[in-house]
Structures are given as C-alpha cells and as structure tokens.
Amino acid sequence: MDDLEFRRHVYADPKCQNTEFLSKKNETEENHLFVDELQQFDKKLKRAMDIEPPKGLAERIILNQALQTHSRMEQQRFIFSIAASVLLVLGVFFYIFQPISEVNLEHEVLAHIYEELDHLIEQQDKKTLDINQALAQHGGEFIGDIGKINYLGSCDIANKKGIHVILAGTHGSITVLMLPDVSINKEKMVSDNRFHGSIIPTGSGSIAIIGEKNESLNEVKQTIKQKLSWAI
C-alpha cells in the first residue's frame, strides 16, 4: 500500500482493521499520528451530531409554513434550506472549537480516557525519542527515559491538540496527556470511582497524569517534572 492509497483509506475509514492498512499505519510515527487525529475528529463530529434540536422546533416550522401563501412558501423554503445548512455548519464548528473553561478540564480529561480505554492495554514499546519527536513542534523534550512506554498517539483536549502517552505502572497503565496549549494556574486534582491523578501546569501548557485508584503516581509525576524541558 503506497502513501496515497493509505491516506485514502484513512479518510474513508480511520478505524479500518485491514492487515495491510495496519502495517502501513505502524510504519512511521507520522502515519500513526495521522490516523489518531482522524479518529479524534470522527468522535468530535459524532458528539456534535448527537445534539438534540430545540423542543418544538419542528412544530414551529410547520406552523410557519402553513401561514404562508404558496408563492411565498416556495421562496422562503429555499431561503430556509440555505440558512439551516449554514446554521448546522456553524453549530458543529462552534461545538468542536468553542473554548472550554478551566473548571471543566478535569471532566474533559476523564472523558477522553474513557473514550480510549483500549489504549490502556496497548503494547507498542515506544521510546522517549518517539515522544520527543512529537513534542519538538511545541519546543519540549524529555531529557532521559521516563519509563516503559506502551502507547503514543495524539489527543484532542479542550479543543487543543495534545500528546497521549501510556506508561506501564505498578498496578496497571498510567495515562499521561501532554497539553502544550492548555494553560492552568495551579495543579488540579482528578478523581472518580476508577481513576485518580492530577493536572499540573508546565511550560505554556499542562500535563495530566492519571492512573488506577490503587496506583501511586508520585514517582511518575516527579520524573516527568524533572526530565521535561521547554525551549520556548
């Protein structure tokens, strides 16, 4: 499968499980991240399309049509179809790209982890160098190893692109979400019935470190804070 055919497959079905497609996906880090980004966009678009229309919208439209004359009805129907298309596009756009308040960042992080639970069992055996290649565009790098890396991909948190990393922990996998463009003023705690962790400010962004309830995260947190360097 050449690069052009691979990209056509990604746009058509980013979740394709064809053996040749998966082999091409894992051929380079760029291919892997490209597939991840398309999968993230599909999830965002699905959530946007699941938004229910306002109550009574259909009834109001029917009533409006009933009150028009036949000639004006045809004209307004045309105008309405254009307006509805524009509003739908704008609605999807603002839903996907609207800024998220810092207060909801913890919920956004947990929601992303639950959406991608399958990554917790990945065994990709990535290297710190692979993460540094993804971090380079943000002016960051890790000076030294940060542990066993089972997964590396992209993520979309607070409408900003980030880097999704899974480290091997003592009692399970530890999720590290590096969010170079999502700034917070102070450390924020994250917790629910299954996971716990925190989001820490770093550089011009933040990093979420989340593990299972019985997982100790202090060592991982200190390792990341000590070994992460920002050039900008």
* Structural domains in the chain (count): 2
Do 152 and 78 share a domain, yes or no?
A: no
Do 81 and 136 share a domain, yes or no?
A: no
Give the closest residue to 158 by CA, choosing from 121, 208, 196, 105: 105
Give, in order, the Cα–Cα distances in Å from 134 to each of 60, 107, 113, 161, 173: 50, 25, 20, 11, 21
Token pair, residue 136, equals: 């380079």
Is the separation of the CB atoms in 173 and 211 below 8 Å?
Answer: yes
Residue 134 lies in a domain: yes
> Which of 97, 121, 149 finishes a domain?
97
pTM for the predicted model, two decimal places: 0.59
Residue 146 lies in a domain: yes
Do 92 and 118 share a domain, yes or no?
A: no
Do 90 and 105 share a domain, yes or no?
A: no
Q: Domain of 209?
A: 101-230
Provide the residue-wise pLDDT of the chain in tens; the chain has 232 residues: 777 787 777 777 877 777 887 787 787 888 778 778 877 877 777 776 766 666 666 667 776 666 666 556 566 666 766 766 666 655 555 544 444 444 489 999 999 999 999 999 999 889 999 999 988 888 889 998 999 999 999 998 888 889 999 999 998 999 999 998 898 989 999 999 999 999 999 877 899 999 999 999 999 999 999 999 887 5
> Which of 97, 115, 147 finishes a domain?
97
